[in-house]
Structure 1
Amino acid sequence: MRPLRALCGTAALALALPVLSPGQAAAAVPAFSVYLQNYATGLNAAAAGGTVAAHNPKGNEDHQQWVPVAVDGGHQLRNADQSNVCLGRNGTSAVTAGCGSAGTTWTITAGADGTWTVGVPGASQYLTGSGSDAAAVQLGSGGDLARWYLTPVAHATAPMPSADTRRLDQVTFLTTHNAYANGADGNFASFPVSLFPNQNLGINRQLNDGVRAFMLDDYAVSGRAVLCHNSCDGVSNPVPLATDLQRMVDFLKARPGQFVTVFLEDYAPSDVLKSSLASVSGLNDVLYRPDQEGVAVKGWPTMADLAARGKQLLIFSDRTRSADIGAGWATRDTFGVLYQREWTVENYWSMGGGIGSSDWSCYSRWGTGRPLTVDSAAFHPLFVMNHFRDYPIGSTIETDNGKLLNRAQNFCTPAARKKPNYLAVDRYEVGSPSPLSTVGTLNTYVLAPGQ
């Protein structure tokens, strides 16, 4: 990871350049560094050895930053970290060329929902992605693949709204990856996976320390949902899902106004999951049901509204509606578990192995069919940002957690065009600054509206 110049504090961010918000298109082409980000796929145009290709967003590590510069007849897009390198064209291919070369002038035109077209002057040809090759950047006709965001490299911010007006989608929550795999509450895996807990502390301690979202893997064993890592084979006495949910419900009932989210990596049949949830005393009192309140049409409520109504717990499953229907199971939202892909976006979970170099690119866990940039004027999907590796190694986790703020602000926020709502980490209590401190920083601001 190449370090970025200091943009980690909110004071520095307040001086940063503005973000284009959904539903707004600036009249003037930006004159600052941007990512040329495809509307349909969420991938960025990157200068790649003489060509231009669509790559996973990767901050300043992959020649993905461009500066629009006004020239006679239109604009050039100059690569921000390569001298005299511009976005150009050769036939129907997108290439890089010297900025004085023919074919490096473009007509950049504002379109709907904060998008732009990058066209050939005097022709009906546009820079476009490809429906058959996700890595291709080429020239073609119009359509969604020819729509691009000019996403600022540095986003402007505004102060976090007051406690009585801030919405759920404006807040960031500390999230524990494999929260149950902690070595404190009970068995979670067979040997040797059991030697590598993702967390050091139990669920009650996590709640008391400020963790407000929990990633749990549930499997069906003897008719009930239990928590195991990879599988429950060879795991003696795994913790029942209902046990950890009861801990959360009891915590919430004792602390009105607090809010918790559960993310299930969900391997249990829906009837087993339903039965396990039904055994949790008081669950329905605090369970929040955005699907019954029109949130997908009118947007998220304020935190104050949720607190006033005692709606304090949101549960997501990573299964799909179609998979449950195909299996002949009841859909999970009939008993209050929402299908995560309908309500959130989430980056790919792995930053690499447990040791060695890390991959900071930020791209959708669910592929280009649901990019991180999915958004609308009415409804903003919640953004789950994963920041952990394949294997939990203590020294690596401590280093990675100390870099969480940098990655959240300078890599993943521009990749998603939204601030993370959930920061998921291993061993949340280690790192400097700590993950909890990073969450505190993110909760001092929201992204500013469009220019």
Structure 2
Amino acid sequence: MNLIKLGIRFVICFTILDLSFSMMSFIAKCSSHGCRVLYRCSRDSQCQTGLYCFACPAAGSAFSASYCTRSDATPTSAFPKNTSLPFNKYAWLTTHNSFAIFGSRPRAGTPIITFFNQEDSVTQQLNNGVRGLMLDMYDFKNTVWLCHSFNGKCFDFTAFRPAIETLIEIKSFLDNNAMEIITIFIEDYVNAPFGLTKVFTSAGLMKYWFPLSNMPVGGADWPTLDTMIQTNQRLIVFTSMDKEATEGIAHQWNFTNENQFGDDGMKQGICINRGGSSVMSDTTKALIVQNFFPNNPNPIEVCVDNSDALWNELSSCYSASGNRWSNFLAVDFYKRSTGGGAFHAVDTLNGQLECGCLDITSHCSCSSSEMWEG
């Protein structure tokens, strides 16, 4: 069976599943608590743990009411093979512009007038299972800030907060979650000598640093999660600027393939590399980053983007990447969807990476009808 037919079959299965849940939800409305995905609800407390009450009118009249919707990821500890596999054999939910949080109070003396890409704090994102953070870092006010920019320059009205504040949040999470690993992707505009090294050191994160010297080259497997946890090397940092010789920070394009971001990265059936990255099929890079978000973040339409369209595109990047599944799935407003959303997509990736099943929750005992036969 060819990949196109399998992709269609994959989409049809999920579409039927979503429709069946939708029709059931009109009948089975939440009355107390413990309701499942796509049951009608009026408040978060009615939904099972890991779900919240959310409406997606952009998906049509059937979703104009509120439904129980996924709000956190399946923990690695629940995977059949747990933490025994190499790091590159897992998929991680990643937030695009993790710092650009709606409702952020102005910190640079001017109201923030720029795009917002998320609605939870970084701590909340991590608590909900996000393990990849995309952070844009700039020289600003004599230190490093998280910021949007024009022509590579941070302004008062595009600045969110000093980077050290978010890095301290990340340290706190690592301090309190000894089995977790976080990856940071820095869009790097920091030109001050050792600017990144200084801010990570000041935040107390160097004790978790995964060293550049331990990163495999040529497409070889990474260490297992067990090894990374036992050695406490649980923070991976990539930067878009080559600072390997000067600061010992991994240059992202030496270790990852990444598809085009923005509108061009959301065209169905197409998964081309972004500028800077080698082609998606380059097997000398063991990690694949898959972006799926528009040029201009849209909190209304994103629940549609993060649903069927996202699932459909998994197979496109699989094919373009030489029949390899993505390791990092980056989205805007990560909790918004018509049901399972980005969390379900990551479950699918982990199911494929671990045992060839359509969902990691199948516990590697899936039937042939639940397998991707590519």
TM-score with structure 2 setting the length: 0.67
Equivalent residue runs for 1:271-290 within 5 Å: 271-281=194-204, 283-289=205-211
2:335 corresponds to 1:429? yes
Q: Which runs of 5+ in 1 are unaligned?
A: 12-159, 322-330
* Counterpart contact for 1:218–1:241, Cα < 8 Å: yes
Alpha-carbon separation, structure 2, partners of 1:333 and 1:10? 49
* Counterpart contact for 2:182–2:234, Cα < 8 Å: yes
1:131-164 Cα offsets, whole Å, 9 max, x none, are xxxxxxxxxxxxxxxxxxxxxxxxxxxxx87224
- The match for 2:279 among 363, 368, 371 is 371
Higher helix proportion, which one?
Answer: 2
Alpha-carbon separation, structure 2, partners of 1:345 and 1:189? 35
SS in 1 for 2:288: strand
* Counterpart contact for 1:288–1:314, Cα < 8 Å: yes
SS in 1 for 2:82: coil
2:6 corresponds to 1:6? no
Equivalent residue runs for 1:15-414 within 5 Å: 162-187=81-106, 194=113, 196-230=115-149, 231-235=153-157, 238-269=160-191, 270-281=193-204, 283-289=205-211, 291-293=212-214, 295-296=216-217, 298-319=220-241, 321=242, 331-332=243-244, 334-351=246-263, 359-360=267-268, 361-366=270-275, 370-376=278-284, 380-414=285-319
Letter in 2 for 1:293: N
1:196-225 Cα offsets, whole Å, 9 max, x none, are 411111111111111111111111013211
Distance change (3 Å), C-alpha of 1:166 and 1:10: farther
1:408-449 Cα offsets, whole Å, 9 max, x none, are 43211111121110000000010133212221222122286x
* Counterpart contact for 2:292–2:310, Cα < 8 Å: no
Distance change (3 Å), C-alpha of 1:247 and 1:439: same
Alpha-carbon separation, structure 1, partners of 2:127 and 2:304? 24
Alpha-carbon separation, structure 2, partners of 1:301 and 1:273? 25
Deviation at 1:189, TM superposition (A): 9.5
Name the structure 1 match of 2:51: none
* Counterpart contact for 1:181–1:188, Cα < 8 Å: no
* Counterpart contact for 2:113–2:157, Cα < 8 Å: no
SS in 1 for 2:144: strand
C-alpha RMSD over aligned residues? 3.2
Alpha-carbon separation, structure 2, partners of 1:439 and 1:279? 33
Name the structure 2 match of 1:112: none
* Counterpart contact for 2:306–2:331, Cα < 8 Å: yes
Alpha-carbon separation, structure 2, partners of 1:195 and 1:408? 28
Higher strand proportion, which one?
Answer: 1
The percentage of counterpart residues that share the same residue type is 26
Q: Which runs of 5+ in 2 are unaligned?
A: 15-78, 357-372
Letter in 2 for 1:301: P
* Runs of 4 or more consecutive aligned structure 1 residues displaced over 6 Å after TM superposition: 188-193
Aligned residues: 282
Alpha-carbon separation, structure 2, partners of 1:201 and 1:261? 18
2:361 corresponds to 1:440? no
Alpha-carbon separation, structure 2, partners of 1:191 and 1:404? 37
Letter in 2 for 1:228: C
* Counterpart contact for 2:221–2:286, Cα < 8 Å: no
Distance change (3 Å), C-alpha of 1:386 and 1:192: farther
* Counterpart contact for 1:287–1:314, Cα < 8 Å: yes
Distance change (3 Å), C-alpha of 1:436 and 1:344: same
